[in-house]
């Protein structure tokens, strides 16, 4: 979804981690060693995201939710593009780059290129981005909420996933177990493709407006 909006991916050719070492910018050890360095890196990411806009696929999903309030978006993306397009029921498995968190005082929304504050106003401790870094466990509550939504769905649409990054790669099986109709939108086939009832070999920006139009 995000790559079509111009947001660089993290992996693969030209991805973020082909230019930066995640060990220096995207793990708890790096943050503990130099929080200012890590936060400045994430401000660069925030600036690059704000320079991009949601595409027609994001808009189609938001419109579908407006017409069908039971629609739920489950995403691995941290960029908030679904919300910018108008989606409201969004479950972010890997967190959001637009939130900061204090281990003692919870989450703080922080939208903008630069952080409004870097330390918790209550305890003075450093605030870290509320995203899943290398070595982090996924938030159990978020995962369970996503599983509950998928186990109860009657239509499951997978968009542009590689089928290899877990736990998201395993989510279609929960929908299938509930006898949901499963549709894959992906220009390329992957090892999970045979699971789907229908595969659309196209990009999200072209396929979603047609599917939900």
Q: Is 5 exposed, middle or buried (0-12, 13-18, 19+ CB in 10 A)?
A: buried
Mark whether 94 is an active-site residue: yes
Quote the CA–CA distance of 77 and 75 in Å, as a whole number: 5
Q: Is 17 exposed, middle or buried (0-12, 13-18, 19+ CB in 10 A)?
A: middle
Which residue of the set 42, 55, 58, 94 is catalytic? 94
Question: What are the backbone dihedrals phi and psi of residue 83, each rounded to the nearest 5 degrees, phi first?
Answer: -65, -40
Give the residue carrying structure tokens 């579908």.
64
167 close to 118: Cβ distance less than 8 angstroms: no
Quote the CA–CA distance of 105 and 126 in Å, as a whole number: 11
178 close to 152: Cβ distance less than 8 angstroms: yes
What is the rounded (10 degree) CA torsion for 188, 5, 87, 150?
Answer: 20
Which neighbouring-strand residues pair with 213? none
Residues designated catalytic: 94
């Amino acid at each position: 979804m995000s790559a079509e909006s111009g947001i660089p991916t993290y992996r693969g050719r030209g991805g973020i981690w082909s230019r930066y070492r995640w060990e220096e910018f995207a793990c708890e050890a790096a943050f503990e060693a130099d929080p200012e360095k890590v936060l400045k890196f994430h401000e660069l990411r925030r600036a690059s995201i704000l320079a991009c806009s949601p595409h027609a696929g994001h808009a189609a999903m938001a419109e579908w939710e407006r017409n069908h309030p039971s629609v739920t978006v489950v995403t691995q993306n941290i960029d908030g593009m679904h919300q910018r397009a108008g989606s409201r029921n969004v479950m972010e498995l890997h967190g959001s780059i637009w939130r900061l968190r204090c281990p003692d005082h919870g989450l703080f929304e922080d939208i903008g290129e630069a952080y409004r504050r870097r330390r918790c106003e209550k305890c003075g401790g450093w605030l870290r981005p509320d995203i899943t870094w290398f070595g982090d466990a996924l938030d159990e509550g978020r995962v369970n909420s996503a599983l509950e939504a998928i186990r109860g769905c009657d239509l499951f649409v997978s968009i542009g996933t590689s089928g290899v990054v877990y736990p998201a790669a395993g989510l279609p099986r929960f929908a299938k177990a509930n006898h949901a109709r499963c549709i894959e939108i992906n220009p390329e086939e992957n090892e999970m493709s045979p699971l789907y009832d229908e595969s659309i070999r196209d990009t999200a920006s072209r396929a979603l407006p047609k599917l939900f139009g």
